[in-house]
Structure 1
Amino acid sequence: MLRNTRHSYGVLARVFHWLSAIAVVGALICIEINDFFPRGSTERLQLLLWHIDAGLLTALLLVPRLLWRLGNRPPDVTPPPPPLFQLLARAGHWALYGLMLALPLFGVLALQAAGKPVALFGSALPVLLSSRPGLGHVLKEVHELLGNLMLVALTVHVAASVWHHRFLRDDTLTRLIGPLR
C-alpha cells in the first residue's frame, strides 16, 4: 500500500524514513571516523565529502517527506499510549525533522563563511554567505552542537521504539517495519 493505513505506514513513508535514516547515520559515521585519518589525507577529505553529501541528501529528502507526512496521517498506535507519551513522540519527531534541516543548513553556512565551496555530489551549490572566518567558526560550533543533539535524539528515538516493542508490547515499531517473527 502506497499510503498510510490506520494500522501501518505506507511504502512511501517507509522509504522516506529509511532513506533519511541511512543518510543521517551515514553523515554521522563519516564525520566520527574522520579523526582516524591524518589531516590533509585523501581518506579524510573523502569522508568529509561523503559527510556533506549525506547531510545535504537528508535535507533534500526532508521536503517531500514532510509534504507526504502532512497529507498522510501517521497510523494509530495499538494500544494507544497515554497522552503524555503521544505528546513526547510528536515533539521528538518534529525535533528530528528540525535537526535534519538545521544541521545541513548550518554546515553549508559554516563552510561558506570559512570561504570553502560546497558541492552536492560534485555540483557546486549557490553561495548563501560570503567569506567571514569569525562567523564561520561560530557556525561550525553550532553545527557540531546540533550534531551532538542529533546523536542524542537518534539514541532516544531508537531506544523508545525498542521500549515500545519489548516492554509496552504495542505496535509502534511494527507499524514501520512490519510484523516481527
Structure 2
Amino acid sequence: MSRDTRERYGTVSRLLHWSVALLVVWQVLKIFDRIEDGEHWVGQTLVPWHISIGFLILLLMLARIFWALRNQGSRPPAPPPRMLGLVAKAGHVALYAALVLMPVSGMSIMIGNGYGLTVFGMELVAQGAEIPWLATFGGMVHSPLAWLLLALVIGHVVMALVHRFVKKDGVLQRMF
C-alpha cells in the first residue's frame, strides 16, 4: 500500500476515491425513480439499494478523511497556495462535507420517521417512534444537499479536466 506523495496518491487513497466516485454515480441513478414511478429496470434494480449504498459512502468517506489526515504528515509540504489553491481546498472540504452529510441526512429521514435503518439486509436501527425534529432536519437538508453535491461533483470533474487538457500540469494523473 503506497502512501500519498506530492507526485501521486497512494493505493488506499485512489481506491477510496474511485470507490466513492462509482457509488455516487450509482446514487445519482435515484433520479430515475421519479420517472414512471420507478417502474423500469433502473428503478427496480438499482434504486432499492439507495440507503445501503449511502451508508457505504459514509463509511468510505470516514475512512478517506482518516486516511487523508494520517497521510498529511508523510507528504512534503506544498508551496503556500495561491487564491486558486485556496478555492480548490475549499471545494474539496465542501465535497467531503457533502459526502458525509448526505448519508447522515438520509439516515435522519429514515430514523426520524420511525422506519429504522436497514443496511444490506441488516437491521442497524429498529423501527420505532417518530422523532419529528430528526425527520425535519433530514427532510430539509437531504434534497438541497443532493443538488449541491451534484454541482460540487461536476465542478470537481470539470477542474480535473482543466488540469489535464488546459493546464497540462499532471494533477489529474496523480489519482490514476
TM-score band w.r.t. shorter chain: 0.7 to 0.9
**Structure 1 residue 48: deviation in Å?**
3.9
Q: Secondary structure at the match of 2:37?
A: coil
Change (3 A) 1:135 1:42: farther
Q: Which structure is higher in helix share?
A: 2
Measured in 1, the distance between the counterparts of 2:60 and 2:116 equals 22
What RMSD, in angstroms, separates the aligned Cα atoms of the two structures? 2.9
User: 1:34-68 CA distances to partner (integer Å, 9 max, x unpaired)?
Assistant: 11243699974654431111111110111221111
User: 1:65-122 CA distances to partner (integer Å, 9 max, x unpaired)?
Assistant: 111111213968x9x7961111111111111111111110110111222222321101
Q: Which residue of the partner structure matches residue 21 of structure 1?
A: 21
Q: Find out whether 1:8 has 2:19 as its counterpart.
A: no
Q: Which residue of the partner structure matches residue 59 of structure 1?
A: 58
Which residue identity does 1:159 align to in structure 2?
V
User: Does the 8 Å contact 2:13/2:64 carry over to 1?
Assistant: yes
User: Does the 8 Å contact 2:102/2:145 carry over to 1?
Assistant: yes
Q: Secondary structure at the match of 1:144?
A: helix
Q: Which residue of the partner structure matches residue 147 of structure 1?
A: 146
Aligned length: 174
Q: Percent identity, aligned pairs only? A: 31
- TM-score, with length taken from structure 1: 0.82
User: Does the 8 Å contact 2:115/2:128 carry over to 1?
Assistant: no
Measured in 2, the distance between the counterparts of 1:19 and 1:168 equals 26
Q: Secondary structure at the match of 2:169?
A: coil
Unpaired runs of 5+ in structure 2?
none
Change (3 A) 1:129 1:45: farther
Change (3 A) 1:146 1:127: farther
Which residue identity does 2:153 align to in structure 1?
L
Note the 1:61-100 alignment, pairs <5 A.
61-73=60-72, 83-100=82-99
Note the 1:128-139 alignment, pairs <5 A.
130-132=129-131, 136-137=135-136, 139=138
Q: Secondary structure at the match of 1:171?
A: coil
Change (3 A) 1:7 1:45: same
Q: Which residue of the partner structure matches residue 176 of structure 1?
A: 175
Measured in 1, the distance between the counterparts of 2:137 and 2:101 equals 14
> Which sits farther off after the overlay, 102-111 or 35-44?
35-44
- TM-score, with length taken from structure 2: 0.85
Which residue identity does 2:171 align to in structure 1?
T
User: Does the 8 Å contact 1:114/1:133 carry over to 2?
Assistant: yes
Change (3 A) 1:155 1:40: closer
Unpaired runs of 5+ in structure 1?
none
